[in-house]
Amino acid sequence: MKLLIALGGNAILRKGDKGSVDDQWKNINNAVEIIAKSIESEDNMVITHGNGPQVGYLLEMMHSMNSERALTIDIADAMTQGWIGYMLQQSFSNYLKDRKTISVLTRTLVLDNDKEFSNPTKYVGSYFTRDQAERLSKEFGWVFKEDPRGGYRRVVPSPMPVDILEIDIIKKLLDEKYVVIAAGGGGIPVIKRKDSYIPVEAVIDKDLASSLLATKIKADKFIILTDVKGVAINYGKKDEIWLEKVSVSELHDLYKKGMFPEGSMGPKVLASIKFVESTNGIAIIGDLDDARNVIKGLSGTVIVP
């Protein structure tokens, strides 16, 4: 079985954590241990991960220390692939001793006319008050929006991923039975002009990039592990209904009705739809803490052709 497992923010930081390195190791080791126990020895596996809080943290840190020397968002994206990729690689080597793990710095192609470049929507980094946001906006030219979760946060473009540039090496490593960590944080965004690649300052949605990568490696299952037990209709309301097994066409109809919010469940649902429609594989969205059952399709929302 070929699997692509996308890890959400809770694999690195949990609600209430201070975010210390100890917290991060604890969460990563916990996630990797669950995954290591859940897969079969013959499974081939790519792991992807998000980077929203981490990329925001790096950018804030660099700007507060010396804004003239602050690195650009694409480089911060690459730094988070190194940071989180290293932690996962380290952890997998302890929990899956009979397998080799490698993280691949991955670039993702986006289109330079993507509408996100003029209307950014992706929240990164900390929550600020309105006054703080206004000050940072003046100082660094950052764009802020009110986050529905409370407070003001910086927003950056999140263009649609169209290609994974390191796909050939990812496939080769998979054939060699490596556990491959790739497309971290959605990949480092680049555009193509004539025959050159040019980096752009953006953060690609990790679920949409994971969907593209899962399609390209022809995964049998695309598994999104997050901090809820699956996809709900009327989430958080009295008449909330959790979806167990759902056909891709049924989910597509619900998606088109705007049932799932952007920035959280929306991209996961869209990523799953795209994968199932283009491969006839299965996508599952479920709780990281129940990964063993989610990977088997016994828990979570299972999206079928």
State the residues that interact with ligand ADP by CB under 6 A: 8-10, 50, 226-228, 231-232, 235, 260-261, 264-265
Complex with Mg ion: residue 9 or 120, whichever CB lies closer = 9
Complex with ligand ADP: residue 4 or 174, whichever CB lies closer = 4
Complex with Mg ion: residue 123 or 178, whichever CB lies closer = 123
Q: How far is the CB of 112 from Mg ion (least distance, A)?
A: 28
83 token code pair: 């940071």
Considering the rule CB under 5 A, would residue 157 count as an interface residue with Mg ion?
Answer: no
**3, 4, 6, 9: which one binds Mg ion (CB under 5 A):** 9
Interface with Mg ion (CB under 5 A), residue total 1
Complex with ligand ADP: residue 13 or 169, whichever CB lies closer = 13
Point out which span in 1-9, 70-78, 98-106, 112-120 binds Mg ion (CB under 5 A): 1-9
Which of 22, 17, 38 has the alpha carbon at shortest distance from 7? 38
User: Whose CB is nearest to ligand ADP?
Assistant: 8
Q: Which residues contact 101 (CB under 8 A, 6 or more apart)?
A: 88, 89, 92, 93, 178, 179, 180, 181
Q: Which does 31 bind (CB under 5 to 8 A by kind): ligand ADP, Mg ion, none?
A: none
Q: Which residues contact 265 (CB under 8 A, 6 or more apart)?
A: 231, 235
Where b means 16+ CB within 10 Å and e means fewer, 60-94 reads bebbeeeeeebeebbebbbbbbebbbebbbebbee
Q: Which does 265 bind (CB under 5 to 8 A by kind): Mg ion, ligand ADP, none?
A: ligand ADP
62 token code pair: 């660099």
Q: How far is the CB of 130 from ligand ADP (least distance, A)?
A: 23
Q: How far is the CB of 207 from Mg ion (least distance, A)?
A: 11
Residues classed as catalytic:
9-10, 122, 206, 268
SS3 content of the chain, % helix, strand, coil (to 5): 45, 25, 35
Rounded CA-CA distance 174/196 in Å is 28
Q: Which does 228 bind (CB under 5 to 8 A by kind): Mg ion, ligand ADP, none?
A: ligand ADP
Is 272 within 8 Å of 211 (Cβ atoms)?
A: yes
Point out which span in 4-12, 91-99, 124-132, 295-303 binds Mg ion (CB under 5 A): 4-12
Q: Which does 232 bind (CB under 5 to 8 A by kind): ligand ADP, Mg ion, none?
A: ligand ADP
Which of 223, 221, 189 has the alpha carbon at shortest distance from 205? 189
Q: How far is the CB of 278 from ligand ADP (least distance, A)?
A: 21
Q: How far is the CB of 200 from ligand ADP (least distance, A)?
A: 22
Q: Which does 235 bind (CB under 5 to 8 A by kind): ligand ADP, Mg ion, none?
A: ligand ADP
Point out which span in 9-17, 97-105, 250-258, 274-282 binds Mg ion (CB under 5 A): 9-17
CA atoms within 13 A on the CB side of 78: 11
Q: How far is the CB of 195 from ligand ADP (least distance, A)?
A: 35
> Whats the size of the chain, residue-wise?
305
Which of 174, 165, 163 has the alpha carbon at shortest distance from 4? 174
Which of 9, 8, 5 has the alpha carbon at shortest distance from 17? 9
Where b means 16+ CB within 10 Å and e means fewer, 125-164 reads beebeeeebeebeeeeebebeeeeeeebbbbbbbbbbeeb
Complex with Mg ion: residue 9 or 286, whichever CB lies closer = 9
